[in-house]
Amino acid sequence: MTASVQADWKVIAFRLKEEEYALPVQHVRSIEKMQPITRVPGTAHYVKGVINLRGVVTPIIDLRERFGFAPEPYGEQTRIIIAALEDMEVGLIVDAANDVLDLPAESIEPPPEAIGSVEASYIDGVAKVENRLLILLDLAKVLDR
Amino acid sequence: MDMSQYLDLFIDESKEHLQTINERLLELEKTPEDMSVVNDIFRSAHTLKGMSATMGFEDLANLTHQMENVLDGIRNRRLSVTPELLDVIFEAVDHLEAMISSIAAGGDGTRDVRGTIELLKRIEQGEMPNKQAAREEPPLEHAYGEFEYHVLEQAKEQGFSVYEIRVRLRDDCLLKAARVYMVFEQLNEVGEIVKATPPVEMLEEEQFDREFLVTVVSKSPADELQKRLMGISEIDEVKVSRLLSDEPSAESEKAAEQPAVMEQAAAVQAEAEAPEKQTAKQATKMIRVNIERLDRLMNLFEELVVDRGRLEQISRELNHAELTETVERMSRISSDLQTIILNMRMVPVETVFNRFPRMVRQLARELGKKVRLEIIGADTELDRTVIDEIGDPLVHLIRNALDHGIEAPDVRAVRGKPEEGIIQLRAYHSGNHVFIEIEDDGAGISREKVLQKAKSRGIVSPQAAEHLNDQQIYELIFAPGFSTAEKVSDISGRGVGLDVVKSTIESLGGTVSVDSQPGKGSLFSIQLPLTLSIISVLLVQIAEETYAIPLSSIIETALVKKEEIFSAHNQPVIDFRGKIVPLVRLKDVFAVPGAADDGDAVAVVIVRKGEKLAALAVDSFIGQQEVVLKSLGNYLSSVFAISGATILGDGRVALIIDCNALVK
C-alpha cells in the first residue's frame, strides 16, 4: 500500500463484471460515453484503438480484457474513463461508472493476500464503505506494459 | 526567497540579452566608433549582471561585471575597439552562453572563467593581451571554479599552505594506478587532497599519460612533500609549487572594489541614456505563450471545425434561409480564426539565422579567411517545429561553405577575386514551401574529385559514373560515407557528413539540392514545408478502415490486374515500369478484420524510401486531403508502420501509415 493512503481518498467508482472498482479522482480527467474507436494494428489485445477526444487522439484500453476477464459487448451503460498518469492519457472502458465517493483512510485495507490471481498486482487496496466493497486500482500498474 | 519560479523567465531573458550582445558586438567590429552600439551592449550586459546576481549565479555575475568594465572603458574612450579585444569579449560571451545553457539544463551555472576575467582585467588596465601568450599554458593546469578557489583561500587563512604538485611517472611505469594510489596515500598523511587533474576516477582507470596534477592543502613545507613523493619508486619527477602564496589576494580585493564604484556611475549613466532608445524599440508589443497552450487551442479549434461541418450539413438539409446564412458566417469567421491560430505558431527564421554572423566571424578568424555573411529574408516565417530542427543542418552547410567553399585570401587574389569571400544566406516563401539557400562565391565543387572519391568509396560504380551529369555528380556528396575534406579539419571533420544534413531535412518533409560552378561558387538549396503539423495525404480504404498515406512518399497510384502479380520466393511482386517491386498487402500487415480477398484488380499505391520502392495494396482510394498531424499519445509510443494519426471531417480518427517502415 502506498503512503498516500494516509489521507482520505476521493475516488471515482465504476463497475467491472460484478465488482466495484475505484480510481483516485486526481487521475480522472473525464467520463465519456462510448464512441467510435479506430483500431490501431499491432498493439496489445486489450488496446481497443484510439478515439478523438476533443481534438486529442487518445488510446483506449478495455479494462475487462486488460484484467483477463471475458469481453462483453458494450451497452448503454458502458463508459470510457479518461485517466491521466503524468504525461500519459488513456481511456479505460468500464461496464458502468457509478459515482464519486469519499473513502476515509481507515476504511482502506491492503489487498487481501488470498486474491492471488493475475489482477492482484493492479490493486492498491480495498475499501469497505457501508455494504460496498471497492477495489482501489493502481493506475501505474494498469498502464504498465 | 525562492527564485525557481523566475528561472524560466531568467533563462529566456538572458538568452535574449546575449543575442543582443552578440549582434551588437558584430556591428561594433564594423563601426568601432559608434558609441550607441557600445551603449546597447553595455545595457544588455548590465541587465544580465543584475539578473544573475539576483538569481544567485555568482560566476555569471562576476564575468558580466568584468565585461561591463571593459565596455565602460570603450564608452569613455579609454579603450579602443580592436579585433583582439573583441575576441576576448566574445570569449566571455561564449562562457556566458555556456553558463546559461548549463542553468537551463538544470545545472548551477558555475564555470571556471578566471582566465577570461584575468584577460578582461588586463584589457581594462590598458594592456592589450597577447592571446597567444595567454593560451600557451602548460598542457596540464588545474582549473578552479569560483567555489573551489574560495575553499582554498579559506584553508590558507587557517594557516595551511596550498600546493600544486605535478607528478610525472617514469616511462616504464607498469602499474600507473598503483603509483597514483601511493602518491595519494603519502599526501593524505600530511595534508588533504583538494583536487586532481585528471579527476581521480580517470587516474584510477589509468586514463592519463604520464603526468597528473594534484592540489593539496597541508601544513608541511614543500620540500617535505617533495621528499615523500620522490621516495615512491617509478616516479620520474615531482614539482611542488605554492599556490595563493602571498599578497595578490589583497590586491584583487582592491581591484574588485574599484569597479563597483565605477559600475554604479555607469549604471546611473545607462539609466539616463535608456529612455531615448527604448521609445524606438517599443513598436512591437509581445507576449510569451507556451507552445503547448497553442496546441491545445488548435485541438479545441479542430473540434469546432468538425462541429461546423455537421452544422453545415444540417443547415443544407433543413434549407432554412436564416440558419444557412448564420452557418455561412460562422464558417467564414472560423476559417479566419484557423489562419490566425496557424500563424501564431510561425516564427521568423531570424531566430535561427542570428547565431550565424557570430559563428562565421569566429570560423573565418580561425581559418584565416576573409568572409562576409549576407542574410536576406530573415523575417521569413516558418512553423516552430521546423525552426527547432533546421538549425543544425544549416550550421553544417555554413561551416562547409567556409571550410571548403571560400578560398584563403591569397588564393582568391591569385584567381582575381576580391579577398573577402561572400556567403549569402537567403530565405523566402514560394507557394506552400519555404526555401533556404546558402550560396558562396568560393571555389565550387570539383567534379573530378567528387567522382574519384565516390568511386573509391564504392558509392558509385565506374560504369554508372560514366553516365552521370554534373548535377548528379554534385548530389553524390550527400551520399552516406562521403566527405570531400582532404584532411579532417576541426571545422567540418566532425565525423558527420552531408548525408546527415540530407536525412534531417528529409525527415522534416523537405529536400536539399546542390549546384556548383567550378571557380565561381556553390549553392545549396533547401526546400521545406511551411508547417509540419499539416501534411497532404492520400486517404485509402481497407475493408471498413481508413488510413492516410503521406503524399511525400507516394510516387503514383495504379490498378494491378490479378495476373500481373507474381511471386518471388513467396513474396508477391509486381512489375512496375520494368522494375520488380514487392507488393505489400496492408490488410495482412495491419490484420484488418473483415477484409475480403483480392478481386480481379488490386489498387496499389507505389511508395518510395530513398531509391527503394514498394507497392501497398489497398481496397480503394478515397482522395487527397490536407490533414493535421497528431501523435498517438505517450501510451502508444511506437506502433509498427504507423507514424501518427489525424482527425477526419466526421470526427473519426484515421491512422497515418509510415511508409519507411514498410519499404525494406
Could you give the ipTM of this predicted complex? Answer: 0.86
For chain B, what is the mean pLDDT?
80
Contacts with B634 from chain A: Cβ below 8 Å: 87-89
pLDDT for the residue numbered B483: 62
Instruction: Please list, in sequence order, all residues whose beta carbon lies within 8 angstroms of the beta carbon of residue B265, skipping any fewer than 6 positions away.
Output: none
pLDDT for the residue numbered B376: 92
Q: B620 pairs with which residues across the strands?
A: B541
Smallest CA-to-CA distance from B203 within B243, B240, B173 is with B173
d(CA B116, CA B446): 42
Instruction: Please list, in sequence order, all residues whose beta carbon lies within 8 angstroms of the beta carbon of residue A76, skipping any fewer than 6 positions away.
Output: none
pLDDT for the residue numbered A63: 92
Q: B213 pairs with which residues across the strands?
A: B166, B197
d(CA A52, CA B300): 11
Contacts with A88 from chain B: Cβ below 8 Å: 633-635
Query: Sign of dihedral through CA atoms B203, B205, B209, B210?
Result: positive
Does A43 reach chain B within 8 Å, measured CB to CB? yes
Residues in chain A: 145
d(CA B185, CA B179): 10
Look at A57 and B654 and tell me if their CB atoms are within 8 Å.
no
Give the nearest chain A residue to B646 (CA atoms): A57
Q: Are strands B579-585 and B612-618 parallel, antiparallel or unpaired?
A: parallel
H or E element at residue B567: strand B565-568
Does B592 reach chain A within 8 Å, measured CB to CB? yes
Query: Sign of dihedral through CA atoms B306, B308, B313, B317?
Result: positive
Q: Give the phi and the psi of residue A51 in degrees, each rounded to 5.
A: -125, 165
Smallest CA-to-CA distance from B548 within B467, B444, B618 is with B618
Cα-based torsion angle of the residue sequence B63, B65, B68, B72 in order, rounded to the nearest 10 degrees = -140
d(CA B497, CA B485): 10
d(CA B386, CA A143): 32
pLDDT for the residue numbered B269: 46
The percent helix, strand, coil of chain B (3-state, each to 5) is 50, 25, 30
Q: Give the residue ranges of chain B where pLDDT is below 50.
A: 131-140, 246-282, 484-495
B46 noted as active-site residue: yes
Q: Enter the DSSP assignment of B284.
A: S
Does B177 reach chain A within 8 Å, measured CB to CB? no
Does B239 reach chain A within 8 Å, measured CB to CB? no
Chain A, chain B: beta-carbon pairs less than 8 Å apart: 81
Comparing A117 with B292, the larger pLDDT belongs to B292
Does B653 reach chain A within 8 Å, measured CB to CB? yes
Does B344 reach chain A within 8 Å, measured CB to CB? no
Smallest CA-to-CA distance from A106 within A124, A128, A123 is with A128
d(CA B263, CA B361): 30
B437 noted as active-site residue: no
Grouping H, G, I as helix, E, B as strand and the rest as coil, residue B121 is helix
Q: Has residue A6 got a pLDDT over 60?
A: no
- The pTM assigned to this predicted structure is 0.53
pLDDT tier, A105 (very low <50, low <70, confident <90, very high otherwise):
confident
pLDDT for the residue numbered B196: 79
pLDDT tens-digit series, residues B62-99: 888 888 888 888 888 888 888 888 888 888 888 888 88
Nearest CB partner across the interface for B636, out of A54, A56, A59: A59
A57-76 average pLDDT score: 90
Give the nearest chain A residue to B307 (CA atoms): A54
Q: Which residues numbered 536-575 in B keep a CB inside 8 Å of some CB on A?
A: 545
Contacts with A41 from chain B: Cβ below 8 Å: 589-592, 639-642, 655
Look at A55 and B636 and tell me if their CB atoms are within 8 Å.
no
Give the nearest chain A residue to B655 (CA atoms): A40
Q: Which residues numbered 249-308 in B keep a CB inside 8 Å of some CB on A?
A: 298-303, 306
B68 noted as active-site residue: yes
Look at B642 and A55 and tell me if their CB atoms are within 8 Å.
no
- Strand order from edge to edge, sheet including A19-24: A96-103, A9-16, A19-24, A132-137, A123-129, A108-109
Cα-based torsion angle of the residue sequence B503, B104, B68, B251 in order, rounded to the nearest 10 degrees = -120
Contacts with B640 from chain A: Cβ below 8 Å: 41-42
- CA–chain centroid gap for B238, Å, is 44
Contacts with A38 from chain B: Cβ below 8 Å: 545, 645, 652-655
Q: Look-up: residue for cell 552531408? A: B498
Q: Would you state the cell numbers that stand for residue A84, as one nine-digit string? A: 491521466
pLDDT for the residue numbered B582: 92
Q: Which residues numbered 84-113 in A keep a CB inside 8 Å of some CB on B?
A: 87-90
| Given the residues B22, B23, B39, B46, the one annotated as active site | B46
B410 neighbors B421 (Cβ within 8 angstroms) = no
- Decide: residue B543, CB within 10 A, 0-12 exposed, 13-18 middle, 19+ buried: middle
Percent pLDDT > 90 in chain B is 10
Contacts with A50 from chain B: Cβ below 8 Å: 632-633, 636, 645, 653, 655
Smallest CA-to-CA distance from B521 within B452, B437, B436 is with B437
Look at A55 and B303 and tell me if their CB atoms are within 8 Å.
yes
Look at A41 and B654 and tell me if their CB atoms are within 8 Å.
no
d(CA B160, CA B157): 7
Query: Sign of dihedral through CA atoms A111, A112, A115, A116?
Result: positive
Nearest CB partner across the interface for B635, out of A38, A41, A90: A90
| Given the residues B39, B62, B69, B400, the one annotated as active site | B400
